[in-house]
């Protein structure tokens, strides 16, 4: 049974966090552990999935708590894919933001990710039925 819970950054051992990020091949995060720790500490909400004592998933939200929240870093160990853990992480992470109108995420251009986020109720910006919406990003 996988347990999903809200946690603090300091409650997660760095070795486990790095192992999870490396397992899903998010090496840009794993190559700078100090920056990853700062990112986690700066998150509004962190949700972890544990299978026994093993960290198998993580999601985090960055939010002002009023008008916007950004769903970031939904990761699940490949050995635990297709078990509903990603959905449970996203739902639990967003649970405390029902009053926030704008929920945003940016992800890679992979068909399985598109299907996953659409199943959670997200719409790709260029397909939004409520009118024209533009998304701009900048990576430095």
CA–CA dist 85, 56 (Å, integer) = 9
Is 2-106 assigned to CATH 3.40.630.30?
Answer: yes
Quick one: pLDDT at residue 23?
96
Question: For residue 46, what are the β-bridge partners?
Answer: 7, 60
Per-residue pLDDT of 24-83, as tens digits, reads: 998 989 999 999 999 999 999 999 999 999 999 999 999 999 999 999 989 999 999 999
Per-residue pLDDT of 72-129, as tens digits, reads: 989 999 999 999 999 999 999 999 999 999 999 888 777 778 888 888 888 887 888 8
Please state, in angstroms and as integers, the Cα–Cα distance from residue 64 to each residue in 111, 114, 139, 140, following that order: 30, 26, 21, 23
Quick one: pLDDT at residue 137?
80
Q: Which residues of 98-137 are buried (b: 16+ CB within 10 A; e: fewer)?
A: eebeebebeeeeeeeeeebbeeeebeeeeeeeeeeeeeee
């Amino acid at each position: 049974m996988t347990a999903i819970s809200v946690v603090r950054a300091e409650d997660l051992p760095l070795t486990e966090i790095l192992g999870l990020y490396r397992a899903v091949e998010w090496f840009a995060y794993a190559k700078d552990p100090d920056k990853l720790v700062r990112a986690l500490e700066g998150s509004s909400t962190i949700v972890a999935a544990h299978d026994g004592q093993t960290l198998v998933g993580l999601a985090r939200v960055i939010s002002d708590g009023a008008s916007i929240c950004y769903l970031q870093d939904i990761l699940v160990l490949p050995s635990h894919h297709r078990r509903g853990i990603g959905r449970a992480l996203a739902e639990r992470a967003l649970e405390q933001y029902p009053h926030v109108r704008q929920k945003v995420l940016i992800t890679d251009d992979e068909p399985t990710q598109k299907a996953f986020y659409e199943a959670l109720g997200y719409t790709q910006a260029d397909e939004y039925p409520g009118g024209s919406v533009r998304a701009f990003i900048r990576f430095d």
